[in-house]
Protein backbone atom coordinates (compact mmCIF):
# COMPACT_ATOMS: atom_id res chain seq x y z
CA UNK A 1 0.00 0.00 0.00
CA UNK A 2 2.85 2.39 0.86
CA UNK A 3 6.53 2.34 0.02
CA UNK A 4 9.06 5.00 0.98
CA UNK A 5 12.46 4.96 -0.74
CA UNK A 6 15.58 6.76 0.51
CA UNK A 7 13.58 9.69 1.87
CA UNK A 8 15.36 12.80 3.16
CA UNK A 9 13.23 15.62 4.61
CA UNK A 10 14.15 19.13 5.79
CA UNK A 11 12.34 22.06 7.34
CA UNK A 12 13.95 25.49 6.80
CA UNK A 13 17.15 23.73 5.68
CA UNK A 14 17.27 21.73 8.93
CA UNK A 15 17.48 17.95 8.29
CA UNK A 16 14.69 16.03 10.01
CA UNK A 17 14.49 12.65 8.28
CA UNK A 18 17.43 10.75 6.81
CA UNK A 19 17.41 7.79 4.44
CA UNK A 20 13.96 6.51 5.39
CA UNK A 21 13.05 3.21 3.73
CA UNK A 22 9.70 1.80 4.74
CA UNK A 23 7.09 -0.62 3.39
CA UNK A 24 3.54 -0.69 4.78
CA UNK A 25 1.68 -3.72 3.51
CA UNK A 26 -1.90 -3.66 2.28
CA UNK A 27 -4.23 -4.21 5.23
CA UNK A 28 -1.48 -3.80 7.81
CA UNK A 29 -1.72 -2.36 11.31
CA UNK A 30 1.69 -0.70 11.31
CA UNK A 31 2.99 1.22 14.31
CA UNK A 32 5.61 3.99 14.22
CA UNK A 33 7.46 4.07 17.53
CA UNK A 34 10.20 6.22 19.05
CA UNK A 35 10.78 8.84 21.72
CA UNK A 36 9.52 12.41 21.45
CA UNK A 37 11.43 14.32 18.78
CA UNK A 38 12.54 11.19 16.92
CA UNK A 39 10.74 12.20 13.71
CA UNK A 40 7.50 10.24 13.94
CA UNK A 41 5.10 13.13 13.33
CA UNK A 42 7.40 14.56 10.66
CA UNK A 43 7.25 11.25 8.81
CA UNK A 44 3.47 10.84 8.87
CA UNK A 45 2.83 14.49 8.00
CA UNK A 46 5.24 14.23 5.08
CA UNK A 47 3.38 11.15 3.82
CA UNK A 48 0.11 13.12 4.04
CA UNK A 49 1.61 15.99 2.03
CA UNK A 50 2.22 18.72 4.63
CA UNK A 51 3.88 21.53 2.66
CA UNK A 52 5.79 22.71 5.76
CA UNK A 53 8.29 19.96 5.04
CA UNK A 54 10.67 19.82 2.06
CA UNK A 55 11.48 16.50 0.46
CA UNK A 56 15.14 16.83 -0.51
CA UNK A 57 15.35 13.42 -2.14
CA UNK A 58 13.64 10.06 -2.24
CA UNK A 59 10.20 8.82 -3.25
CA UNK A 60 6.81 8.10 -1.72
CA UNK A 61 4.86 5.40 -3.57
CA UNK A 62 1.20 4.98 -2.63
CA UNK A 63 -0.99 2.25 -4.08
CA UNK A 64 1.50 1.80 -6.92
CA UNK A 65 1.67 5.53 -7.82
CA UNK A 66 4.49 8.00 -7.20
CA UNK A 67 2.91 10.76 -5.06
CA UNK A 68 6.14 12.49 -4.04
CA UNK A 69 5.16 15.73 -5.79
CA UNK A 70 1.41 15.57 -5.19
CA UNK A 71 -0.16 18.06 -2.79
CA UNK A 72 -2.07 17.18 0.36
CA UNK A 73 -5.50 17.56 -1.27
CA UNK A 74 -4.70 15.13 -4.08
CA UNK A 75 -3.20 12.64 -1.64
CA UNK A 76 -6.34 12.82 0.50
CA UNK A 77 -8.60 12.26 -2.51
CA UNK A 78 -6.44 9.31 -3.58
CA UNK A 79 -7.20 7.68 -0.25
CA UNK A 80 -4.74 8.93 2.40
CA UNK A 81 -6.45 10.00 5.61
CA UNK A 82 -4.64 11.91 8.34
CA UNK A 83 -5.94 11.98 11.89
CA UNK A 84 -3.59 14.66 13.19
CA UNK A 85 -2.61 15.09 16.81
CA UNK A 86 -3.32 18.83 16.80
CA UNK A 87 -6.35 19.87 14.76
CA UNK A 88 -7.41 23.45 13.97
CA UNK A 89 -10.62 25.11 15.04
CA UNK A 90 -12.69 26.43 12.11
CA UNK A 91 -15.25 28.96 13.36
CA UNK A 92 -18.25 29.36 11.06
CA UNK A 93 -17.89 25.98 9.32
CA UNK A 94 -20.24 23.42 10.80
CA UNK A 95 -19.29 19.79 11.25
CA UNK A 96 -22.19 18.87 8.95
CA UNK A 97 -20.97 21.11 6.12
CA UNK A 98 -17.38 19.99 6.57
CA UNK A 99 -18.31 16.32 6.34
CA UNK A 100 -20.63 16.88 3.37
CA UNK A 101 -17.98 18.73 1.34
CA UNK A 102 -15.32 16.16 2.24
CA UNK A 103 -17.46 13.17 1.30
CA UNK A 104 -18.72 14.86 -1.87
CA UNK A 105 -15.15 15.56 -3.02
CA UNK A 106 -14.11 11.95 -2.43
CA UNK A 107 -17.19 10.60 -4.22
CA UNK A 108 -16.63 12.79 -7.29
CA UNK A 109 -12.90 12.03 -7.42
CA UNK A 110 -13.45 8.26 -7.25
CA UNK A 111 -16.62 7.89 -9.34
CA UNK A 112 -17.02 11.11 -11.32
CA UNK A 113 -20.53 11.39 -9.88
CA UNK A 114 -22.08 13.92 -7.52
CA UNK A 115 -23.05 12.85 -4.03
CA UNK A 116 -26.76 13.18 -3.36
CA UNK A 117 -27.88 14.71 -0.09
CA UNK A 118 -29.98 11.61 0.61
CA UNK A 119 -27.01 9.28 0.27
CA UNK A 120 -24.87 11.53 2.44
CA UNK A 121 -27.44 11.81 5.21
CA UNK A 122 -28.05 8.06 5.22
CA UNK A 123 -24.33 7.29 5.63
CA UNK A 124 -23.87 10.10 8.14
CA UNK A 125 -26.73 8.85 10.32
CA UNK A 126 -25.39 5.30 10.27
CA UNK A 127 -21.88 6.45 11.28
CA UNK A 128 -23.23 8.89 13.88
CA UNK A 129 -25.25 6.16 15.56
CA UNK A 130 -22.29 3.77 15.47
CA UNK A 131 -20.20 6.32 17.38
CA UNK A 132 -23.07 7.54 19.57
CA UNK A 133 -22.47 11.15 18.53
CA UNK A 134 -25.23 13.62 19.51
CA UNK A 135 -27.02 15.24 16.56
CA UNK A 136 -26.41 18.72 17.96
CA UNK A 137 -22.67 18.30 17.44
CA UNK A 138 -23.25 18.43 13.68
CA UNK A 139 -24.40 22.05 13.82
CA UNK A 140 -21.40 23.26 15.83
CA UNK A 141 -18.29 24.80 14.27
CA UNK A 142 -15.50 22.33 13.53
CA UNK A 143 -13.54 21.59 16.73
CA UNK A 144 -14.72 24.81 18.44
CA UNK A 145 -15.57 24.06 22.06
CA UNK A 146 -14.97 20.33 21.66
CA UNK A 147 -12.92 18.43 24.25
CA UNK A 148 -9.97 16.27 23.22
CA UNK A 149 -12.07 13.11 23.32
CA UNK A 150 -14.91 14.73 21.37
CA UNK A 151 -12.50 15.83 18.66
CA UNK A 152 -11.31 12.24 18.38
CA UNK A 153 -14.90 11.08 17.87
CA UNK A 154 -15.43 13.64 15.10
CA UNK A 155 -12.20 12.36 13.55
CA UNK A 156 -13.64 8.82 13.65
CA UNK A 157 -16.82 10.07 11.99
CA UNK A 158 -14.78 11.53 9.14
CA UNK A 159 -12.74 8.31 8.92
CA UNK A 160 -15.84 6.14 8.54
CA UNK A 161 -17.45 8.42 5.96
CA UNK A 162 -14.38 8.77 3.71
CA UNK A 163 -13.36 5.09 4.10
CA UNK A 164 -9.72 5.64 3.04
CA UNK A 165 -7.24 3.14 1.67
CA UNK A 166 -4.61 4.31 4.16
CA UNK A 167 -5.45 5.89 7.52
CA UNK A 168 -2.61 7.66 9.33
CA UNK A 169 -3.40 8.29 12.99
CA UNK A 170 -0.96 10.42 15.01
CA UNK A 171 -1.40 9.40 18.67
CA UNK A 172 -5.15 8.73 18.39
CA UNK A 173 -5.20 7.65 22.04
CA UNK A 174 -3.76 10.95 23.29
CA UNK A 175 -6.32 13.10 25.13
CA UNK A 176 -9.01 10.44 24.81
CA UNK A 177 -10.98 9.04 27.72
CA UNK A 178 -11.52 5.31 28.25
CA UNK A 179 -14.79 5.19 26.29
CA UNK A 180 -13.32 7.11 23.34
CA UNK A 181 -10.24 4.87 23.27
CA UNK A 182 -12.55 1.87 23.06
CA UNK A 183 -14.43 3.52 20.17
CA UNK A 184 -11.15 4.14 18.35
CA UNK A 185 -10.09 0.51 18.80
CA UNK A 186 -13.51 -0.82 17.75
CA UNK A 187 -13.62 1.43 14.68
CA UNK A 188 -10.17 0.35 13.51
CA UNK A 189 -11.00 -3.32 14.03
CA UNK A 190 -14.21 -2.91 11.99
CA UNK A 191 -12.26 -1.57 8.96
CA UNK A 192 -10.22 -4.59 7.77
CA UNK A 193 -9.86 -3.24 4.22
CA UNK A 194 -8.22 -0.02 5.40
CA UNK A 195 -4.47 -0.02 6.03
CA UNK A 196 -3.53 1.76 9.27
CA UNK A 197 -0.27 3.53 10.04
CA UNK A 198 -0.30 4.98 13.51
CA UNK A 199 1.81 6.53 16.23
CA UNK A 200 1.20 5.48 19.81
CA UNK A 201 3.28 5.42 22.99
CA UNK A 202 0.85 3.11 24.76
CA UNK A 203 1.58 -0.61 24.40
CA UNK A 204 -1.80 -1.62 25.85
CA UNK A 205 -3.65 0.47 23.26
CA UNK A 206 -1.46 -0.84 20.44
CA UNK A 207 -1.97 -4.47 21.43
CA UNK A 208 -5.74 -4.11 21.21
CA UNK A 209 -5.41 -2.89 17.62
CA UNK A 210 -3.43 -6.06 16.91
CA UNK A 211 -0.45 -4.40 15.28
CA UNK A 212 1.50 -6.69 12.99
CA UNK A 213 4.54 -4.50 12.32
CA UNK A 214 6.50 -1.83 14.17
CA UNK A 215 9.06 0.63 12.81
CA UNK A 216 11.14 2.57 15.33
CA UNK A 217 12.66 5.99 14.64
CA UNK A 218 15.53 7.68 16.45
CA UNK A 219 16.96 11.08 15.52
CA UNK A 220 15.18 11.03 12.16
CA UNK A 221 16.43 7.59 11.14
CA UNK A 222 14.97 4.10 11.25
CA UNK A 223 16.46 1.92 13.97
CA UNK A 224 17.69 -1.33 12.48
CA UNK A 225 17.27 -4.18 14.95
Over the stretch 151-206, which tens digit does the pLDDT of each residue have?
Answer: 999 999 999 999 999 999 998 887 778 888 889 999 999 999 999 999 987 777 77
Report the C-alpha gap between 10 and 159 in whole angstroms.
29
Instruction: State residue 148's pLDDT score.
Output: 86
In this model, does residue 120 exceed pLDDT 80?
yes
Delimit the domains of the chain by residue range: 2-222
DSSP 41-58: HHHHHHHHT-TTSEEEEE
pLDDT range class, residue 225, cuts 50, 70, 90:
low
The stretch 215-224 carries a mean pLDDT of: 92
CATH of domain 2-222: 3.40.50.300
Confidence of residue 3 (pLDDT cuts 50, 70, 90): very high
Rounded Cα gap, residues 43 and 50, in angstroms: 10
CA angle 192, 169, 77 (to 5 degrees): 75
Instruction: Show the DSSP H helices in the chain as ranges.
Output: 40-48, 72-78, 95-111, 117-131, 148-162, 178-189, 203-209
pTM > 0.85: yes
Given a cut of 90, whether residue 84 has pLDDT beyond it is no
Rounded-to-integer distance, Cα 182 and Cα 165, Å = 22
The residue among 28 and 202 whose pLDDT is bigger is 28
Amino acid sequence: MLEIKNLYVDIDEKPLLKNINLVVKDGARHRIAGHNGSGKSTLVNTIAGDSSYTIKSGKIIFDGKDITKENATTRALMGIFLGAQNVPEIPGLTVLSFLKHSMAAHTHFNTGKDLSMGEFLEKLESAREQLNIPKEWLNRSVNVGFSGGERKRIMLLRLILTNPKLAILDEPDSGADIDTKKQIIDTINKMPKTTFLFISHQDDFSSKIKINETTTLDNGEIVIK
